[in-house]
Chains A and B, each alone.
Chain A
Amino acid sequence: MNRLRSLDPTVVVYLALVAALAIGALLVSTVGRNFFSAGNVRDILTGMSVLGLVAIGQTLVVLCSSLDLSVPVVISLSSLLAATTMAGDPARIVPAVLLTLAVAAAIGMFNGLVVTKLRVNGFIATLGTGLIVKGYLDTQYKGTAGTVPWEFQLLGATGLGPVPVSTILMLALATLVWFVLARTRVGHQMFAVGGDPVVARLSGLHVARPVIVAHVVCSLTAAGAGLLLASRLGVGSPTVGSQGGYDLLSIAAVVLGGTLLLGGRGSVWGTIGGVAIFAVLDNVMSVMQVNPFLKDIVRGVVIVAAVAVYTRRTLHAHRPRFGVGGPTDDGPVLGPADGAPATGQLPPAEEVAR
């Protein structure tokens, strides 16, 4: 246990992923299937791409100690906007993608401004934005709409060997976000503001800026997920986002990946690990032909159990807040992220008593 405590949280997530892979391979082999066949690996990686995209953006928002519950409607809206603008014409792919991203960025900007300037809690602000956009979707679209040209459908269908292009794009984006968090000013500001807005403010930061950036990026990645889903389905759908439950699942993946729900600590690679655990779990249950309703039970239990194992450990190991790998460990780490009572990741009784 002590050795485990000293490990980086992200490493623990990947250890859990390896364990999930091992157990999955064992279970799948009992029904006479090969877990590591090219087809199955492709299935898992494909399963990761959409949730992965959403969760990357959600990681930034959670890091800033906000939440984004509007991702499902942004996904649906993006798939519809893209499909109806393209209308089957390959020449209109680029304008359609640009339009979709612009609209998503505007929604993210609205979220960020409501959270920072109007001081509405992120939970409520994005819930409200979600309702507003949902009203538009319900009024404007009665069902699936538009058509996606074949060229754009290739995005969701092709792959390099067993690795789908969509997953490569997702991982490239994760790398970019990792770089932003680890090496750029706005990335460091996100950790600072998420850790403690008061201290960040007193240190001379514009606390609104990183939060707005995080919300914009989150909406953009959700739009990316919507584009990807449109390319897979061939049409835009007003329910594709809400059916997937991407709001809560992405938050679960972020927390599973070791990011504190209170903000200020976390990493994008942990999130990808969390997404991968979900994908492996889903894949194993699909291959084993588990009843779809039982899947939900297993998923619910695994989320809680995994986070339980995880938090038991990290509450003791105070990891430097800045830097993903902790390159700038300066001074003692204050406990604001642990001490602020928001959603339960508090130092509980025994911890406080020390």
Chain B
Amino acid sequence: MRRSAREVALDLVSPQRAVFLLLVVLLVAIVVVNPSFAEPGQLMRFLQRVAPVAIVAMGQFFVIVSGEFDLSMGSLVTAQVVGAGVLVGQDGSRTVPVLALMLAFGTLVGLVNGLATTFLRVPSFIVTLGMMLALLGAVMFWTGGAATGNPADEFRQIGRGGWREVPVLDFVPYAVVILVVLLVLALWYTHRPAGKLHVAVGDNVATAHHAGVRVWWVKTRAFVISSLSATVAGVLLVGYAGVHPSVGRGYEFTAITAVVLGGVVLGGGRGWIVGALAGAVVLEALFVLLNYAGVPSTVRSSVQGVIIIAAVAYSALDFRRRRSGPATTSPAGGDAAPAPGRGGDTSTTSPAHSGA
């Protein structure tokens, strides 16, 4: 781990770590535009707002790194938020049972996604697309299209509240604590053999299978993690954004964008969870910066689009360079596979990945 400062600096600007560079640039820009952003309290509130997106992105990370997609996250967030609104109602004592119910429902959705993908052999893009339609339809049908309900304050405090008057940090939202705990858990998990299997399966299913991996279980686990993360994000959003049927709209795309910005390869087999987290923070920081800079809200999506394409194109530079050498992050190695193009990256990321 001992490296010179120059090596670290080079690593930061390398395309593979582009997201961290982008994050630093964005944060500096925000502070320049609005110096009060650097105050601990403001930063904490920013992180509080990032938390749901970041948690969803970390969940999506496991699915994508295992070589699948989860498009149902947005609908699941909506379903959980609306469900919480209806079930908790004004009765604060129901908080714990409803939380348990929500987690159980999230697990169920993940299991269905995973098992349909692995045993019915339907591409996860389609499975989770079907789940997205079905969940949203079910929620709207259940609530008659107009979700109402203002859950008890005890429940909303999870996403909204925090410890105030904390020395140095000023305000520590519960959401940030949850985010940090989940990040630590996720890091621990990705370093366990069980977590590394996600990368192995995403990189090369055939090799992983021959090595004795229960592929269906690894993939299903990824979907369950992803659905649980959408559930947690839903719990936080109830407090932060309130109950509304559109609250989770677009979360699946935001999560996938964040994950890809973080250097994770669509198609699986490559990626670092911290990158996915940084990708989510970048998306939110971009939003904040455009807000502070007074860019009209209608133009923001254009700027976001340009930056997403530019950032991903920049990190794609790395692939071109690495293609000539051995794949550095691929533990399984694609050479034994029947698939030409070493499974993981060349044949899946883009059809034109072969030139040099």
Contact = CB atoms under 8 A, between A and B. Distances in A.
Interface string B281-293: 0000000000000
A123 B309 contact: no
A127 B308 contact: yes
Contacts, number: 281
Interface residues of B, number: 82
15 contacts: A119-B349, A120-B312, A127-B253, A132-B306, A135-B301, A135-B303, A207-B351, A207-B352, A304-B131, A340-B341, A341-B201, A343-B123, A344-B69, A349-B209, A352-B210
Interface stretch (B32-40, B50-58, B153-161, B262-270): B262-270
Given A125-B309, A344-B67, A344-B122, A296 B136 contact: yes
A339 B343 contact: yes
A131 B302 contact: yes
Given A128-B312, A335-B338, A340-B347, 13 more contacts: A116-B352, A119-B352, A132-B302, A134-B302, A135-B305, A139-B298, A139-B299, A193-B352, A194-B351, A198-B347, A300-B131, A303-B130, A340-B343
A304 B113 CA distance: 10
Contacts of A136: 302
A300 to B, nearest CB: 3
A60 to B, nearest CB: 12
A196 B347 contact: yes
Interface stretch (B2-10, B138-146, B187-195, B234-242): B138-146
Given A300-B137, A349-B209, A124 B266 contact: yes
Q: Is the interface of A mostly helix, strand, loop or mixed?
A: helix
B321 to A, nearest CB: 12
Interface in A184-225: 193-194, 196-202, 207-208, 211
Residue picked from A199, A208, A300, most chain B C-beta under 10 Å: A300
A349 B316 contact: no
Contact of A341 (B134, B257, B344): B344
Nearest to B352: A116
Contacts of A211: 351-352
Interface of A: 64-66, 69, 114-125, 127-136, 138-139, 193-194, 196-202, 207-208, 211, 248, 251-252, 255, 261-263, 291, 293-304, 307-308, 311-312, 315, 334-336, 338-349, 352-353
A297 B134 contact: yes
Nearest to A310: B122
B124 A347 contact: no
Contacts of B343: 339-341
Contacts of A252: 126, 129-130
B207 to A, nearest CB: 9
Given A139-B299, A307-B122, A353-B209, A339 B266 contact: no
A69 to B, nearest CB: 8
Contacts of B125: 251, 255, 261, 343-344
Contact of A301 (B118, B134, B266): B134
Contacts of B267: 340-343
A112 to B, nearest CB: 9
A200 B126 CA distance: 27
B215 to A, nearest CB: 5
Contacts of B102: none
Contact of B260 (A121, A248, A300, A349): A121
B117 A344 contact: yes
A301 B305 contact: no
Nearest to B132: A300
B116 interface: yes
A263 B341 CA distance: 15
B257 A65 contact: no
Contacts of B69: 343-344
B26 interface: no
B88 interface: no
A290 B257 CA distance: 35
A132 to B, nearest CB: 4
Nearest to B319: A119
B141 A291 contact: yes
Contacts of B116: 304, 308
A345 B123 contact: yes
Residue picked from B202, B209, B305, most chain A C-beta under 10 Å: B305
A132 B352 CA distance: 23
Interface in B225-259: 253, 256-257
A124 B215 contact: no
Nearest to B347: A340
B129 A303 contact: yes
Contacts of A208: 352, 355
